Structure 1
Amino acid sequence: MKLFVATFLLVLVLSSSLLQPTMAGSDFCDSKCAVRCSKAGLKDRCLKYCRICCAECNCVPSGTYGNKDECPCYRDKKNSKGNPKCP
């Protein structure tokens, strides 16, 4: 029983330390996407796709439109129809 409790606590500590960088990245994406989508007509949709692209590419172009050359991964993502995925 003691071994089970010790193992459980060890897993809990390790998993919490692994989640920390993900949460920090999320804050980065949230702030960058908020700026990127601030003038979007469909803000919820813009934020959704911007966050997906940011999580995969680790960057978001500056400004509210254009500047996609700053982040080639973000620029080159396509949806199933071949159109740009990232706002």
Structure 2
Amino acid sequence: MAMSRNLTLLFYVTLLLIVLTTNQAESLSSQLSQPQSQSGHSMYGATQGSLNPQACGPRCTMRCSATAYKKPCLFFCNKCCAKCLCVPPGTFGNKQLCPCYNNWKTKRGGPKCP
């Protein structure tokens, strides 16, 4: 009876270790697939889903800094960032670095995100 209990406990401990190891391997794999800067952070928050919602404001301020239409640019940039959790680097272009930001379209088919 004690031998059966020990085998059952050993089975569950082994199963738990397998699950934990698998989760850590998946986490490491996803971290390695994101572009990294020299400091170890994803570059400019351009990797989809890499930004915290609190970081959207400063990124969008930088993104919209060169336009004459700051208010609508900031509105839509923040809306896109809240959904996609990324903002392409620079004041224009580079949208390919954030597919969600790039592919979100208006009803007319134009780009929704600046």
Same fold (TM over 0.5): yes
Gaps of 5+ in 1: 1-24
CA distance in 2, matches of 1:40, 1:28: 20
In our comparison, the structure showing a higher alpha carbon Rg is 2
CA distance in 2, matches of 1:69, 1:81: 21
Note the alpha carbon deviations across 1:46-84, whole angstroms, 9 max, x for none. 000000000000000000000001100000000111100
Determine whether 1:41 maps to 2:99: no
Q: Identity rate of aligned residues, in percent?
A: 49
CA distance in 2, matches of 1:33, 1:48: 9
CA distance in 2, matches of 1:27, 1:44: 19
Q: How far is 1:41 from its partner?
A: 1.3
Q: How far is 1:26 from its partner?
A: 3.9
The aligned counterpart of 2:78 is 51
Quick check: which one's helix share is greater? Answer: 1
Gaps of 5+ in 2: 1-51
Aligned length: 64
